[in-house]
Amino acid sequence: MREEKAVAMQPGHTENTAWNEIAPVLDEALNQLNQTERQAILLRFFDQKAMRDVGVACGISEAPPKCE
């Protein structure tokens, strides 16, 4: 019991526990996205790319859409 408490008090332990809890939920949400949406999320938040780079990778222009 003391060993379990000691492990739980270590700084890395809470991060791992939180990640283990959220990982399945995140995987499920990512699986519901289409390929372009999933790629944008992965580039932005996992590869830490700038929004401009995400747009280029996804073939999205910075120009605003034209209204007709």
Q: What is the pLDDT of residues 2-34, one digit of tens each?
A: 666 666 666 655 667 778 888 899 889 999 999
Q: How many domains does the chain have?
A: 1
Is 64 inside a domain boundary?
A: no
pLDDT at 49 over 70: yes
Is 65 inside a domain boundary?
A: no
Q: Give residue 66's identity as a one-letter amino acid code.
A: K
Is 63 inside a domain boundary?
A: no
Compute the distance between CA of residue 59 and CA of residue 52 in angstroms, rounded to an integer: 10
Per-residue pLDDT at 60: 85
Compute the distance between CA of residue 8 and CA of residue 14 in angstroms, rounded to an integer: 7
> How confident is residue 43, by pLDDT bands cut at 50, 70 and 90?
very high
The two tokens of residue 55 are 């747009």
Report the percent of the chain where pLDDT is more than 70: 74
Structural domain that includes position 51: 2-58
43 near 54, Cβ under 8 Å? yes
Average pLDDT, the chain: 81
Per-residue pLDDT at 46: 87
The H-assigned helical ranges of 1-68 are: 2-9, 11-31, 35-41, 51-58
